[in-house]
Amino acid sequence: METVEDIMKFRNLAVASVAALAVLGAATVAAAQEPAMQVHQRKLLRVAMSVAIGQSPVEAAAIARVVDQLWSPEGVDIEWVSETQAAAEDRLDAWVVIERNGSESSHVPAREHNVGRRVVVVSMDEVMARFEQTMSVQQQVSRESARHLMFGNAHLIERSLGYALAHKLGHVVMGLPHATTGLMSADYNPAPGLTSLHGSDLDAESRRLLQKRFGVGCIAAR
């Protein structure tokens, strides 16, 4: 049972989340107005996405935007291929499946020459559990209060799923190991909507490995 103190903390947390999302939007606009990073070479990935989480208001396009926001500054572009188109094609770098519990999915057609059989599964339940744990510690509220916040804000769910997906693509498609900090950290922050996520969150060592493997890299525009 929640105490009055928990309720007050939850209200403050909800206000903070709205403010953080507003700051996040402003930061994105500001970043677009600043001099862009110049990329030596870009890597194009072709990825399909299936979202199978029932009646949730979560949108695949919103999740994809978060992934793009994280990987594009590193020279990695993603062409998001529709499920219909992907099922008939011979080349995909990955097929993403976002499900409630992250179990093996039947959404991906088995094609002998389709590397889209390299399935990247993201569990919504796992992402939300990470969110609850992080928020309860950071904001000193009960996990129940953190859960209420998550269920009441589709944008937070989308951003958290997008961050988790970007992390998994880093492993499965780009072959990056766990890092000590940032996007590729084993205990990555699952609540980016409340931590003003914007731009790249890749650590220096992962960036070096990415550049070595794919020849991509960024330098500041002059």
C-alpha distances in Å from residue 209, one per residue of 175, 178, 204, 216, 218? 9, 12, 9, 10, 13
> With left for phi above 0 and alpha for psi between -120 and 50, is residue 61 left, alpha or beta?
alpha
Q: Which stretch of DSSP H or E encloses residue 116?
A: none
| pLDDT, tens only, 45-102 | 999 999 888 777 789 999 999 999 999 989 999 999 998 888 777 688 899 999 888 6
C-alpha distances in Å from residue 121, one per residue of 51, 96, 108, 138, 168? 10, 6, 11, 27, 8
| pLDDT, tens only, 7-25 | 555 555 555 554 444 444 4
Query: pTM for this structure?
Result: 0.76
- Cα distance between residue 26 and residue 20, in whole Å: 10
Alpha helices per DSSP H over 100-191: 124-138, 143-151, 154-172
- Cα distance between residue 198 and residue 152, in whole Å: 22
pLDDT at 166 exceeding the cut of 90: yes
Q: What is the pLDDT of residue 220?
A: 38
DSSP state of 98: E
Q: Three-state SS for 96?
A: strand
pLDDT at 36 exceeding the cut of 80: no
Domains defined along the chain, listed by start: 41-205 (3.40.390)
- Cα distance between residue 116 and residue 101, in whole Å: 21
* 112-129: average pLDDT: 74
